[in-house]
Amino acid sequence: MTHTSILRFPDGFLWGAATAAHQNEGGNRNNQWAAWEQQPGRIHNGAVAGAATDWWNLETAAADFDRAAELGLNSLRLSVEWSRIEPEQGVFDQTALRKYTEMIGLLRARGIEPMVTLHHFTDPLWLTDLGAWENSRVEGYFTRFVARVVEALGDQVTLWCTINEPLVYAYLGYLGGYFPPGVNDPRRAFNVLRRMLLAHGRAYRTIHRLQGNARVGLAHNVRVFLPGDPARAADRYAVALLDRIANRNVYDAITRGRLNPPLGLGQQVTHLIDACDYIGVNYYSPGRAAFDPARPGQFFTRQFLSPKAELSDITPNGEAYGEIDPHGLYLALTQAAAYGKPLYITENGVPDHDDDVRPRFIATHLAETWRAIRDGADVRGFYHWTLVDNFEWAAAWSLRFGLFDFDRETQTRTPRTSAAVYSRIAQANGVPVNLLEQVAPGYGSGLDAGS
């Protein structure tokens, strides 16, 4: 492998950044997160999303889209805010829909293909009052909303992501109590997750009914589990079990239509069979797992961070956000690829306030992506989380994921070194080996890159 060589990606590959409405728009007051932010003790330092990165002001959004275009990005993942579009049950706000049409137009005008997420953690308050995703009618409510969005934006959007990280929504909200509604009840968590997957299937069918050339998937937060002690059979069992619950159950649902325990009894749901055109992989870090007989509530498993691993920034609960392990992305991609669908890496990134890890993080995760493509995974795009530091839910502004540093007081954006690194990769449609060598010395050895 020479230093002029490149880990080349397929033609037409989408190089993007991922964002979300509540984390970027500002001024969202009619959803359950805005309400949650008002409750003492819920959000780090009592912070709120507030003006966020001010994207509801289209001039600010346009300036950030310019930044993305200047980096050489040809795609951007963003979400639409249900509570703006349907502020009251059954009442649709045409002004909000028009504004999203304009926002998407700003992307298109810059040669940036939008990937639009239809649900990214936030629910309108009217839905919260009705029990949110525990209400048996939620599939119908969601599908009606989705149809309105597709009718309004369908001229400009064909790449859709129905729901972002249903597992995170269900488990952090109904198992950990870390997200609203702050419940801790496994039965309710599984019920919510099942309804989200069913709603995904309905949304998939609805979008295709309205738009023949749509490409529809969901974004799954993949947890790659590694055994605490690989030599211990019980730890390997813990890994297999958690992998089934956290990953395979979701893939089985949206490709084979199967609802496996604890989501169901293995029944096949017709509208979920083959209900995705791609699988969206959100990968951040792997999880270590060990068998633990003292934890029946956690399926007799314990998850932990390895003291030997490299760790990312610390979250407000005092633990690192996660381990840094690029090879985990390779494992995530090859596992998902086995379901026979194209893949998009709908999120990958790292909280790293001083940007000393991110340049290497980006280059090595993309080297592993290249390796997965070489080994047969049909990966079509990569979305770095995120463009500009944004509101990181319960951790608020304490975790910084952006290619651009963001000063909340002044709304100033400053490019980080990692923005230049990602830009070089996007513009080259691949990872230049000399860049990889520069940011991650030695990482490329053993890769057969060609020139």
Q: Shortest approach of ligand IFM to residue 232 CB, angstroms?
A: 30
Give the nearer residue to ligand IFM in terms of CB position, either 190 or 321: 321
Give the nearer residue to ligand IFM in terms of CB position, either 292 or 352: 352
What do you get for the CA distance between the two ends of the chain, in Å?
Answer: 8
Those residues with Cβ within 8 angstroms of residue 214's Cβ, 6 or more apart along the chain or in another chain: 150, 154, 158, 159, 160, 207, 208, 277
Whole-angstrom distance, CA of residue 343 vs CA of residue 217: 9
Whole-angstrom distance, CA of residue 127 vs CA of residue 33: 12
Member of 347, 352, 355, 368 binding ligand IFM (CB under 6 A): 347
Classify residue 261 as exposed, middle or buried by CB count within 10 Å of its CB (0-12, 13-18, 19+).
exposed
Q: What are φ and ψ of residue 247, in 5° steps?
A: -120, -60
Q: Shortest approach of ligand IFM to residue 284 CB, angstroms?
A: 6
Q: Shortest approach of ligand IFM to residue 282 CB, angstroms?
A: 5
Member of 385, 397, 404, 406 binding ligand IFM (CB under 6 A): 385
Any bridge partners for residue 379, and if so which?
343
Member of 30, 117, 247, 282 binding ligand IFM (CB under 6 A): 282
Q: Shortest approach of ligand IFM to residue 18 CB, angstroms?
A: 8
Helix or strand holding residue 337 (H, E) = helix 326-337
When asked if residue 37 is in the footprint of ligand IFM (CB under 6 A), the reply is no
Give the nearer residue to ligand IFM in terms of CB position, either 81 or 347: 347
Q: What are φ and ψ of residue 287, in 5° steps?
A: -120, 135
Q: Shortest approach of ligand IFM to residue 192 CB, angstroms?
A: 17
Residue 404's CB is within 10 A of a number of other CB atoms, namely: 22
Member of 97, 325, 392, 421 binding ligand IFM (CB under 6 A): 392
Q: Shortest approach of ligand IFM to residue 342 CB, angstroms?
A: 21
Q: Shortest approach of ligand IFM to residue 257 CB, angstroms?
A: 26
- Which tokens hold the place of 448? 């057969």
When asked if residue 13 is in the footprint of ligand IFM (CB under 6 A), the reply is no
When asked if residue 123 is in the footprint of ligand IFM (CB under 6 A), the reply is no
Chain-centre distance for alpha carbon 80: 14
Residue ranges of E strands in 55-207: 75-79, 113-119, 159-164
Give the nearer residue to ligand IFM in terms of CB position, either 122 or 158: 122
- Are 249 and 171 within 8 A, CB to CB? no
When asked if residue 25 is in the footprint of ligand IFM (CB under 6 A), the reply is no
Q: Shortest approach of ligand IFM to residue 132 CB, angstroms?
A: 17
When asked if residue 113 is in the footprint of ligand IFM (CB under 6 A), the reply is no
- Are 106 and 62 within 8 A, CB to CB? yes
When asked if residue 382 is in the footprint of ligand IFM (CB under 6 A), the reply is no
When asked if residue 352 is in the footprint of ligand IFM (CB under 6 A), the reply is no
When asked if residue 243 is in the footprint of ligand IFM (CB under 6 A), the reply is no
Give the DSSP letter string of 36-48.
HHTSTTSSGGG--
Member of 64, 86, 165, 325 binding ligand IFM (CB under 6 A): 165
Q: Shortest approach of ligand IFM to residue 157 CB, angstroms?
A: 20
What amino acid occupies position 123?
A: D
Give the nearer residue to ligand IFM in terms of CB position, either 169 or 251: 169
- Which tokens hold the place of 41? 């003790």
Whole-angstrom distance, CA of residue 237 vs CA of residue 302: 12
Member of 7, 14, 17, 20 binding ligand IFM (CB under 6 A): 20
When asked if residue 139 is in the footprint of ligand IFM (CB under 6 A), the reply is no
- Are 353 and 387 within 8 A, CB to CB? no
Give the nearer residue to ligand IFM in terms of CB position, either 118 or 435: 118
Residue 28's CB is within 10 A of a number of other CB atoms, namely: 22
Give the nearer residue to ligand IFM in terms of CB position, either 20 or 242: 20
Q: Tell me the number of residues near ligand IFM by CB under 6 A.
A: 8
Give the angle subtended at the CA of 22 by the CAs of 204 and 114, to the nearest 5°: 50
- Are 65 and 106 within 8 A, CB to CB? yes
- Are 270 and 332 within 8 A, CB to CB? no
Give the nearer residue to ligand IFM in terms of CB position, either 201 or 349: 349
Segment 402 to 441, residues that bind ligand IFM, using CB under 6 A: none
HSE value, Cβ hemisphere, 13 Å, CA-based, for 304: 12
- Provide the binding-site residues for ligand IFM, judged by CB under 6 A: 20, 23, 165, 282, 347, 385, 392, 401
